[in-house]
Amino acid sequence: MPLVTLVVAAARNGVIGRDNGLAWRLRSDLRRFRALTMGKPILMGRRTFASIGKALPGRRNIVLTRDRSFEAPEIVAIHDWEAALAAAGDAPELMVVGGAEIYRMALPVADRIHLTEVDAEPEGDTFLPEYDRAAYRETLRESHAPGEGDEHAFTYIDLERTR
């Protein structure tokens, strides 16, 4: 079974999205997302896939949906958590990239979390589900001032489940 790793950006108030998109612009975080996920299978929900609009290149795109007729170019459509794990094949790590329902499903078994904590409290309609932070140890914390293309300061926090 692959390691299950969440990749998520959340504001201080827990917002992860608004109107089926991000509630901020952070070019630096998009570069990190690409570096973390390139060459690995990524799991997302159908609405997250729709907000992206296409399969992300260089990764096996797995879309979890209840719609059994859903299909799109260059994606693997699956309908439950066990199928998501199977679709990861023999990859050592499955990257879970959203949205909230998919995070909620993955958090109980997540081995790692790559969290970008956005230094803002935007309005939003989608939130990071609650999880037991005490079940993880922090392995990285890097604070960054806004760079070119970044609307806010942010902190990268990597968490690893304690066993």
If you write DSSP's letter for every residue of the chain in order, what string do you get?
A: --EEEEEEEEETT-EEEBTTB-SS-BHHHHHHHHHHHTTS-EEEEHHHHHHH-SPPTTS-EEEE-S-TT---TTEEEE-SHHHHHHHTTT-SEEEE---HHHHHHHGGG-SEEEEEEES-----SEEPPP--GGGEEEEEEEEE---TTBSS-EEEEEEEE--
CA distance 119 to 103: 21
Report the DSSP beta bridge partners of residue 155.
117, 143
Note the pLDDT of residue 106. Answer: 97
Q: Which of 157, 91, 150 is nearest to 128 (CA)?
A: 157
Tell me the per-residue pLDDT of 138-157, one tens digit each, with 9 for 90 and over. Answer: 999 999 999 999 999 999 99
Note the pLDDT of residue 163. Answer: 75
Amino acid at 128: L
Note the pLDDT of residue 128. Answer: 97
Note the pLDDT of residue 79. Answer: 97
Report the DSSP beta bridge partners of residue 114.
7, 158
Q: Tell me the pairing of strands 15-17 and 126-127.
A: antiparallel
Q: Which of 25, 33, 156 is nearest to 98 (CA)?
A: 33
**Terminal CA-to-CA distance of the chain, rounded, Å?**
16
Q: Tell me the pairing of strands 75-78 and 42-45.
A: unpaired
pTM equals 0.96
Mind listing the pLDDT tens digit of every residue in the chain (163 residues)?
899 999 999 999 999 999 999 999 999 999 999 999 999 999 999 999 999 999 999 999 999 999 999 999 999 999 999 999 999 999 999 999 999 999 999 999 999 999 999 999 999 999 999 999 999 999 999 999 999 999 999 999 999 999 7
Residue ranges of domains in the chain, CATH in brackets: 3-161 (3.40.430.10)
CA distance 3 to 94: 6
